[in-house]
């Protein structure tokens, strides 16, 4: 019998596309039932300011994801020169609108707009992105309410491995408000020992090499070298970068990492599809709270 060496090991794929499709199927059934019982569908309002092409694609995917699941979507596509005051007025109207359960402002917003003041104007019960300091604080205090979509999606992918996260050494690469920080709080809540690395971290390699679980969310193509991955580790790659030939790649050097890891997310088809699925899940959660379920 041959023993497997690190060189021959091939990671199992954490298939976000399949998990996402399965979750959306079961949510669609729940949405249909809730809509019938309460006489209205869950509603998501999406605010897009300006013409950023990537944001336009994300927003289109979010609204079409809603429609396919029976969630009502309310699109507010506003010109780049829209004022902060106008946006605050719109958010205030949406906060008061009983048909709207979730509100999201697609980021980034144009330079003259302060994104934090928009996020803080959203009713925390409608903050389906989980970006409002109230929802971040709830997660930090171990009483999660609406949870940030990408980290929440990463937790669902980690669940698929069947691994108990208690005491696992986790390294989150990247400390953004959208992914790195809430990801660290999710892992901490799950009982893991968490390190967050960022642009001032010295010797990233030494941190990654110790990790049972690596979550790469730095937004830098190929930052995490495949040979740094501990044999048998779980690798979650949040990065997404388009190469000159049109193909997509992540923050992790996939081919080498996949020979060492036990589980790895592909790019595309890993974390990406989960983000919108968790946004829809949060919209359903917010709807239930609004109708008293
Ligand atoms: N821009 C990049 N990621 C996100 C996200 O998850 N939500 C919003 N609203 N904007 C983003």
Q: What is the pLDDT of residue 1?
A: 44
Distance in Å, CA 275 to ligand 1 centroid: 9
Q: Catalytic: which of 106, 126, 212, 251?
A: 106
Is 199 assigned a catalytic role? Answer: no
pTM over the 0.85 mark: yes
Is 156 assigned a catalytic role? Answer: no
Q: What is the pLDDT of residue 282?
A: 98
Segments of the chain with pLDDT less than 50:
1-2
Closest by alpha carbon to 267, among 280, 281, 255, 279? Answer: 255
**Maximum C-alpha span of the chain:** 71
DSSP alpha helix (H) spans, the chain: 16-38, 53-69, 84-96, 115-121, 133-140, 149-160, 180-189, 204-209, 254-260, 271-290
Q: What is the pLDDT of residue 7?
A: 56
Cα–Cα distance measured from residue 23 to residue 33, given in angstroms and rounded to the nearest whole number: 16
Is 106 assigned a catalytic role? Answer: yes
30 contacts 280 by C-beta, under 8 angstroms: no
pLDDT, tens digit, 9 for 90 and up, residues 96-105: 999 999 999 9
Which residue minimizes the CA distance to atom 2 of ligand 1?
107
Which residue minimizes the CA distance to atom 9 of ligand 1?
106
Q: What is the pLDDT of residue 2?
A: 47
Q: Which residues line ligand 1 (CB under 6 A)?
A: 104-107, 129, 149-150, 178, 275
Distance in Å, CA 178 to ligand 1 centroid: 7
Q: What is the pLDDT of residue 119?
A: 98
pLDDT, tens digit, 9 for 90 and up, residues 132-165: 999 999 999 999 999 999 999 999 999 999 999 9
């Amino acid at each position: 019998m041959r023993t497997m060496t690190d060189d021959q090991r091939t990671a199992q794929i954490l298939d976000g596309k399949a998990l996402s499709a399965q979750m959306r199927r079961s949510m669609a059934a729940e949405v249909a039932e809730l809509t019938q019982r309460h006489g209205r569908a869950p509603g998501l309002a999406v605010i897009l300011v300006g013409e950023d092409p990537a944001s336009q694609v994300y927003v289109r995917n979010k609204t079409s994801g809603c429609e396919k699941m029976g969630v009502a979507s309310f699109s507010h596509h506003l010109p780049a020169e829209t004022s902060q005051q106008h946006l605050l007025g719109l958010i205030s109207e949406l906060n008061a609108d009983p048909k709207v359960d979730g509100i999201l402002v697609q980021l980034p917003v144009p330079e003259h707009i302060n994104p934090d003041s928009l996020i803080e104007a959203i009713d925390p019960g409608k903050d389906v992105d989980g970006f409002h300091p109230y929802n971040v604080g709830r997660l930090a205090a171990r009483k999660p309410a609406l949870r940030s979509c990408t980290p929440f999606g990463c937790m669902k992918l980690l669940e698929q491995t069947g691994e108990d996260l208690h005491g696992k050494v986790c390294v989150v690469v990247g400390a953004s408000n959208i992914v790195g920080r809430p990801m660290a709080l999710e892992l901490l809540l799950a009982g893991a020992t968490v390190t967050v690395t960022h642009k001032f971290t010295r010797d990233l390699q030494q941190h990654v090499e110790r990790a049972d679980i690596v979550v790469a969310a730095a937004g830098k193509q190929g930052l995490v070298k495949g040979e740094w991955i501990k044999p048998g580790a779980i690798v979650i790659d949040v990065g997404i970068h388009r190469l000159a030939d049109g193909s997509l790649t992540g923050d992790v050097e996939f081919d080498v990492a996949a020979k060492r890891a036990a589980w790895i997310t592909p790019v595309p088809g890993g974390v990406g599809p989960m983000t919108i699925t968790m946004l829809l899940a949060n919209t359903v959660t917010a709807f239930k709270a609004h109708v008293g379920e």
